Structure 1
């Protein structure tokens, strides 16, 4: 399935049905009075987060979504039926923005979360609504109110705990395939990932975290060069960034330190908040470096890069060093995870002691 993380749609709620002007006409009842019913409400348009979806491709080609109008009122005290609502199912992590005003309507982060996008119009009043002791034969009615219409932008930001950052061919896809069940395209020739991949890393029973692999960045990505800048939004919800660096580049004339500095510069240009996120340095493809040269090359890289944070040495292809990295990531995520508030059951909550009542009670004297 094609990965689509942005779409523009038009939503239109249903119009309300018009009221009816009608009078009761039966034999031997010359003055039956008004019996025109009200119109029905137009259908609403909702958006609901669905955990089974991971792309917005359904809205790339179907851009117009309209709810039905409410039924008109009829005679014999018959009110019009309300129209059915329509529900647009979107992936968890979708941000819905009003294109005309720029207002963020909702950010659906929980499965099953539902938000109203466009409200259906109320039904009009029939002449039954206007009868009174002084107005016994009203001929007034009102049309139904129009439903809301909006032009919306849907933007998907994947929910991941860890994001992989680096140049093309740094080994991000190989790493996510080595530590999770994700199966991105991997080959023995240089190419770049074209869409993000998510992988669930199982640390132990009931212990896991989610890793996001996005297309590699190149110099000038913040100005629109390459593909990586289009997917940096998917890293904005992560808690930790892993900066993967190829210490044995395919081209011997390429300096890994310069590439790493270019990535950091592009990250700062794109979003300063993303730049301030916790970031670890992961030196990959050490299996391509002779064993006796590894320590020297790693020290030289860290010194020239002027890196003060955590450094991990791995080989995603042979899984060397991956297990300590996984354990360290899980400990960091658990340490930064917000505690879930526990709801107390009021039935078992002890009431506060009433000291005043105890002083007045003769049994306590």
Structure 2
């Protein structure tokens, strides 16, 4: 059944009590069972949204029980962290939320450069703390893996930041199974954030089993296929300049991939929910150690995403959904530049490190 929530205090209080809290990883971090991806609020998918509207959305999310907020220093760049910091300060909400942010991607001469150098790790953390206007980051991710620097070196500096009280828990994003193991040997990894949705399942063979073996939580980003599984090819047709999805192979093959959306949408109609809710529910059903972070800039979409927590799927329905978006059916890579994904996240051995 489709759940719609009006933005009033009584209903929000009721919904907040309905959204469970879960342990993310085995190090002690507790978060809402669904998070909020904040990236799109300050661009990436086009122009930045009006700040007052986004602060209102963040407050609405927290009051609704979604307290796990995901940002990064590269979003904007920098403006997304500033926005999240302002929203928390205006509402006096710092103690109610778990803030996850990331470092490791710099824009140099208009191109992304990944850096895991220890000095950069520290300076990036201190800059994020200032922009967020907080004393400690709850979950600090290595956003992308620097293949020039042994992961042990990057993790060594992160471990120091934990010991100094500037970071509570450490995470990795778009990391391979071997990278995860090497990092975890230096300091426990609390969460791994990788893309995971009905049409992006490449992490299931090695990364998911590795995380579960080591007690690491899994945070899927883009769990609704960057919006395609919610809207279908119409989304690709209406992308504006500045929306980086225009460069993504799957969106460039939207006409071919429309069958995936149509099948998901048809099944959603049978179950009395939206296509977005159904796709998101599939991710939730992957396990209690999985906390997706769907992003949105619209209150109504946020409220629909909450409704996904109430959609129940049988084993047979899960299999049917998976058949809609098999690798043989979906056309195009999931990322415009696969070089910046876990497939290429291997780093040199620690013995090769000579320092700066």
TM-score by structure 1 length? 0.28
Give the structure with the larger strand fraction: 1
With normalisation by structure 2, the TM-score equals 0.28
* Greater C-alpha Rg: 1
More helix by share: 2
